[in-house]
Amino acid sequence: MTVAVGARLTLEGVGHQYGAAKVVDSVDLQIDPGEFVTLLGPSGCGKSTLLRILAGLLQQTAGKVSIDGQDVTGLSPADRGVGIVFQNYALFPHMTVEDNVAYGLQAQRLGDRKFVRDAVQRMLSTVRLDEMAKRFPRELSGGQQQRVALARTLAVNPRILLLDEPLGALDKNLRLDMQIEIRRLQRELNITTIMVTHDQEEALSMSDRVALLNAGKLEQFDTPTKIYDQPNSAFVATFVGTANLLEAQLVQHARRFVAQPSVGGALALSSPSPHANAGSIVLAIRPEQWALASETERAEALEAKVQLVMPLGPSLVIDLLLRDGTSIKLAMPRTQELVFEHGMILYLKLREGARPSVFSASGA
Question: Could you read off the pLDDT of 45-85 as tens digits, one per residue?
Answer: 999 999 999 999 999 999 999 999 999 998 988 889 899 88
Looking at residues 254-269, what average pLDDT do you find? 91
Q: Return phi, psi of residue 219, to 5°.
A: -80, -45
Interstrand relation of 345-350 and 290-292 (parallel, antiparallel or unpaired): antiparallel
**Mind listing the domains of the chain with CATH numbers?**
9-234 (3.40.50.300), 242-360 (2.40.50.140)
Band the pLDDT of 275: cuts 50, 70, 90: very high
Please check the confidence at residue 168 and state whether its pLDDT lies above 80. Answer: no
pLDDT digits (tens, 9 = 90+) for 305-341: 999 999 988 899 999 999 999 999 999 998 877 889 9
Q: Which amino acid is at 361?
A: A
Contact 260, 268 (CB under 8 A): no
Please check the confidence at residue 26 and state whether its pLDDT lies above 50. Answer: yes
Tell me what percent of the residues of the chain surpass a pLDDT of 90: 63
Please check the confidence at residue 271 and state whether its pLDDT lies above 90. Answer: no
pLDDT, position 2 = 45
Q: Euclidean distance between the first and final Cα of the chain, in Å?
A: 51
pLDDT, position 294 = 92
Distance CA 318, CA 341 (A): 10
Query: Higher-confidence residue: 103 or 107?
Result: 103
DSSP letter string over 82-144? EEEE-TT----TTS-HHHHHHHHHHHTT-S-HHHHHHHHHHHHHHTT-GGGTT--GGGS-HHH
Band the pLDDT of 364: cuts 50, 70, 90: low
Distance CA 221, CA 224 (A): 9
Interstrand relation of 302-312 and 70-71 (parallel, antiparallel or unpaired): unpaired
Q: Return phi, psi of residue 20, to 5°.
A: -90, -5
pLDDT, position 188 = 86
Distance CA 293, CA 302 (A): 9
Looking at residues 204-227, what average pLDDT do you find? 96
Q: Return phi, psi of residue 72, to 5°.
A: -105, 10
pLDDT, position 319 = 97
Distance of CA 345 to the CA centre of its chain: 36
Please check the confidence at residue 169 and state whether its pLDDT lies above 90. Answer: no
Band the pLDDT of 1: cuts 50, 70, 90: very low
pLDDT digits (tens, 9 = 90+) for 115-145: 888 888 888 888 888 888 999 999 988 888 8
pLDDT, position 335 = 82
Q: Which residues pair with 67 in a beta bridge?
A: 9, 70
Q: Which residues pair with 80 in a beta bridge?
A: none
For residue 210, what are the contacts with CB-CB under 8 A and spacing of at least 6?
A: 37, 38, 40, 203, 204, 220, 221, 222, 223, 224, 227, 240
Which pTM does this prediction carry?
0.86
pLDDT, position 338 = 80
